[in-house]
Structure 1
């Protein structure tokens, strides 16, 4: 199995030429790299104008491996071949290395690159990536993989330290500037005699990264906004981010959001990708990105929901206080319904994410989660009312799936005797990693050693917990029965809340595509679409016909009628129709894989009827085995599946009104499948 590793872009805030001078100081030996033993120069060549310098070395490494493994393998040292290409004209240094020892059993390939920062020519970027393929190794494949991972992690950390060490050494010697290369009279190329005393170090396993338009992957950025990550964790973040960039056409969540899902799955890339894609689809379907702007809490929640934000804890995390014991859960459920309560809790989580971002800026360190303080005084058997517990379990399920690693600590105070019963009911639905963050205090002994004061400053302890800080959390109380609603009213409200979405779902079967009819009255209109492939692979087509495939029901909303004759799967193109005669294709077919999010638009040339079609895409059985594991989560399952599912939204706009914004993601527009910036339309 091929393992891939990718480090973030490291930024040296020094010019390229000065960094190269520091890099050269690592040769012929480097006391900072004890694992490096020696090297032989295999070949060396310079261009006529000295702008290009190529050198190939055979490097000898004393790998930190168990002595027993070395004896079984029959070697004491490992040899690598390293090829360096320095281009002084373009100001780049490309480094490629691969293992020579055991190359028939283990293949290690690394690529590194030093280049000028794309936004600041006085800075230098370093990019490093690697692949490791262990075919066989005397039955020690797992051990060898762990050793390689350890060496790679040490190499990444040590590599930057070494360059910085020599940069400081140059500065101490008074060298703070190295002139750039400039053309000089050419001279014949002369082969250089190998120098057996010259040494270098392959920086251990890695595959070159594309240039990034900013320094968001810089180590300083990671430490400042994301926290301490191991090199392998950084690699997982960057690889998942790149995968989302490709499949979601530029519409990707923030690094902090991606990182939460990776942490929740212990940095298992496939599991994190699957759950993140499901959550992104859920967010889009229910328009969660707009929740803080669109959701208005009913007055009964403002009066009787006993929760609210209250300053922050000692770690700078936003602090949320919930007086659960004082909450009339039955009254709230009877007055609002389960889904309204869920919407309110989701708005709390969205507000928590926003406050984490604000506190990250205020405190100058990454804050990605919040602390929740739950006061259980007053909790009794009425809180175990079955519909109320059902609503609570539903809320826990949704929050666990879509807001992983957002709870930093849960302080449960004044837990009464009935609490173990409630805990037995809800704890199986809470992730094990989340349960580890729970601290439970029975009775009133919660302010002593190891208690509340260890986590919250004394001056912000609420008055109802014996502190002096006034807390604006409602005191709760019983919800008046006059506010109760009938089951029919609550059911209608629940349906309204979760069907008020601009997205529709459709099934696509093998031999039965789903088709959507759009009638265009005025030419030069713009048909826009936004769809997610929730299951399977599909082919997306757009057709035009002068006549309707079937008598459509006109949409009464206006001239641009979008018609869909109901049902989860709709077929409109009659089998007797011939392509090129009865209807024509107006865009090239687009193959979309499971998990992809596609946005696009088409400027209509003629009035008439346009048909958007999602068609089942059959993948050859042999194709699944050739796909990189990192690029297809469930590729092998698609061969036997005969059903796909898409979630889509379409809209018809006048060309002068064509705009697109997406506040949760990077704003992107696709015109005829081609991506353009929103700036170009303003």
Structure 2
């Protein structure tokens, strides 16, 4: 199985040329790298102008492996071939290495890159990625992988220290500057070629992308804002972030958010990517990113919801206090409905994320989760009202799916005798990792050693828990029945909140594409689309027809009304229609994989009817070009039971509206040029 790793970007706050001078001192051997025992130059060539030097080396490593494994393998040293290219003009050093020893059983490939920092030309960036593919190794595959992992982790930690050691050595010798390379016609002193070799201390060495991400995800940034991560955890974060950049068209969640999903799945890339994509689709569909700006809590929540933020705990985590025993859960459900309660809880979680970011800046260390204190005084059987428990379970389900690893600690105080009953109902819906963060105190046990003061400063313990700090959390109480709403009103409100989104969803089956019809009156109108592939792989097509494919209910949207028959899966193109005769394709087919987010537009050339189509595609079947007849049948049977799902939004801009938008974009993009021309004209007047 192929294992891939990518380190964060390391930043040396020194010019590229000085870093190269320090790098050169590591060879032919380095006392700071004990396992690097020898290196021989196989070939070396320099371009005519001296700007590029290519060096190939053969390096020997005394790998830290068990004696038995070395004896079985019949080797004392492991040999690597390394090809290095130094471009003095572009100020880059690219390093590629792969193993010679056991290359028929183990394939190790590494790519490293030194380059100039994109925002500061006097700083140098270093990136490193690696892949390991163990085909067979005398039955020691697992052992070899662990050894490789150990060497890789050690190289990441040690590599920066070695360069900094030699930079300090140069400084002690009075060398603090190295001249940049200039063409021979511009320099009087010959340029001495730099000796090149990548760090051969890495048993598994890997490449990094020569393109530095923006913003740079460097090691210092990770430690400052994300915390201490192992090299493999750093690699998972960087790779998942890169995948999101490639598939989500720039709409990338913050690194802290990505990291929460990785932690929730123990840094299993595939599992974390799956739940993260589902959550991103959910956030987009329900506009959760704008919840804090758009959601206003009803007055009944402001008066009777017994929860609120209260300072922070000893670790700097935001502290949320919930007086659940004083909450009239039945009254809240009867007065508001499930959806309003869910929106309120989601707004609390969004506020918690915002407070974590603020506290990270205030305390100067990563704070990615909050502490929740739940006071159960007053909890009784009326809190076990079935609709209330149902609403609670649904809230837990949504929060668990979309806010993993946001709860750092849950302190449950004054748990009464009825609490075990509630815990039995609720605990199966709570993730095991989350349950481990629960601390439960019965009666007044929280007041003694190991109690509340171990987690919260005495000065901010709320007054109702025996402290001296006034807490602004509402005391709750019973909601007047006059505020209750009828089941019909609650159902209508729940439906309104749940469907309050501009996006629609549809399932797509093999042989049953989903299609929507758009009628265009004026040519040169613009059809825009924004869709997410929630499940499976699809092909997106746009067709044009002079006549409607079938009668459809039209919405009164004016000259550019969008029409679509009712249903989750709609097929409009009749099977008797012939492509090129009854209708035509106006855009090249676009294949979209699961998890991708796609935006685009099409300028219509003719009036008539345009059909947007999402069609099921089997990527595996497409890749297999010479599949036997039997396998083809089996593949068809296997695929027929699967379906795809897309979430989409379409809009039509009239030609006049589009021209206005286009002119605005042209003005924005040409603003710097306009300012320059204005300045030039002003200077002419001064002259």
TM-score relative to the length of structure 2: 0.90
CA distance in 2, matches of 1:678, 1:260: 41
CA distance in 2, matches of 1:602, 1:649: 14
Q: Does the 8 Å CA contact 1:5/1:129 hold for their aligned counterparts?
A: yes
Q: How does 1:582-593 map to 2 (within 5 A)?
A: 582-593=582-593
Name the structure 2 match of 1:137: 137
- The Cα of 1:366 is off from its aligned counterpart by 1.5
1:638–1:477: structure 2 CA closer, same or farther, 3 Å change rule? farther
Q: Does the 8 Å CA contact 1:97/1:202 hold for their aligned counterparts?
A: no
Name the structure 2 match of 1:666: none
Name the structure 2 match of 1:105: 105
Worse-matched range after superposition: 420-429 or 404-413: 420-429
CA distance in 1, matches of 2:199, 2:326: 69
CA distance in 2, matches of 1:448, 1:174: 61
Say whether residues 1:361 and 2:371 are aligned partners. no
CA distance in 2, matches of 1:624, 1:395: 44
CA distance in 2, matches of 1:390, 1:30: 65
Name the structure 2 match of 1:506: 506
Name the structure 2 match of 1:189: none
Which structure 1 segments of 5+ residues have no match? Answer: 187-191, 627-634, 660-668
Name the structure 2 match of 1:121: 121
CA distance in 2, matches of 1:500, 1:527: 23
1:286–1:105: structure 2 CA closer, same or farther, 3 Å change rule? same
> SS in structure 2 opposite 1:45?
strand
> SS in structure 1 opposite 2:559?
coil
Say whether residues 1:293 and 2:293 are aligned partners. yes
1:638–1:46: structure 2 CA closer, same or farther, 3 Å change rule? farther
> SS in structure 2 opposite 1:378?
coil
- The Cα of 1:679 is off from its aligned counterpart by 6.3
CA distance in 2, matches of 1:564, 1:681: 40
Q: Does the 8 Å CA contact 1:27/1:199 hold for their aligned counterparts?
A: no
Q: Does the 8 Å CA contact 1:10/1:219 hold for their aligned counterparts?
A: yes
CA distance in 1, matches of 2:399, 2:210: 36
1:616–1:622: structure 2 CA closer, same or farther, 3 Å change rule? closer
1:677–1:329: structure 2 CA closer, same or farther, 3 Å change rule? farther
Name the structure 1 match of 2:676: none
TM-score relative to the length of structure 1: 0.91
CA distance in 2, matches of 1:636, 1:440: 54
Which structure 2 segments of 5+ residues have no match? Answer: 187-191, 627-634, 672-687
> SS in structure 2 opposite 1:472?
coil
> SS in structure 2 opposite 1:534?
strand
Q: Does the 8 Å CA contact 1:247/1:596 hold for their aligned counterparts?
A: yes
Bigger fraction of residues in helix? 2
Say whether residues 1:209 and 2:240 are aligned partners. no
Say whether residues 1:88 and 2:92 are aligned partners. no
Q: How does 1:486-525 map to 2 (within 5 A)?
A: 486-525=486-525
- The Cα of 1:641 is off from its aligned counterpart by 4.2
Q: Does the 8 Å CA contact 1:11/1:215 hold for their aligned counterparts?
A: no
CA distance in 2, matches of 1:212, 1:376: 51
> SS in structure 2 opposite 1:121?
strand
Q: How does 1:306-317 map to 2 (within 5 A)?
A: 306-317=306-317
- The Cα of 1:622 is off from its aligned counterpart by 7.6
Alpha-carbon deviations, 1:125-164, whole Å to 9, x = none? 1110011000001111011111101100100110011001
> SS in structure 1 opposite 2:174?
coil
- The Cα of 1:657 is off from its aligned counterpart by 5.0
Task: Give the count of matched residue pairs.
Answer: 651
Name the structure 2 match of 1:17: 17
1:407–1:61: structure 2 CA closer, same or farther, 3 Å change rule? same
Q: How does 1:117-196 map to 2 (within 5 A)?
A: 117-184=117-184
1:77–1:636: structure 2 CA closer, same or farther, 3 Å change rule? farther
CA distance in 2, matches of 1:200, 1:131: 16
Alpha-carbon deviations, 1:552-605, whole Å to 9, x = none? 322113322111111111122233333333322221110111221111112223
1:642–1:440: structure 2 CA closer, same or farther, 3 Å change rule? closer
Say whether residues 1:43 and 2:32 are aligned partners. no
Report the RMSD for the aligned CA atoms in angstroms. 2.6
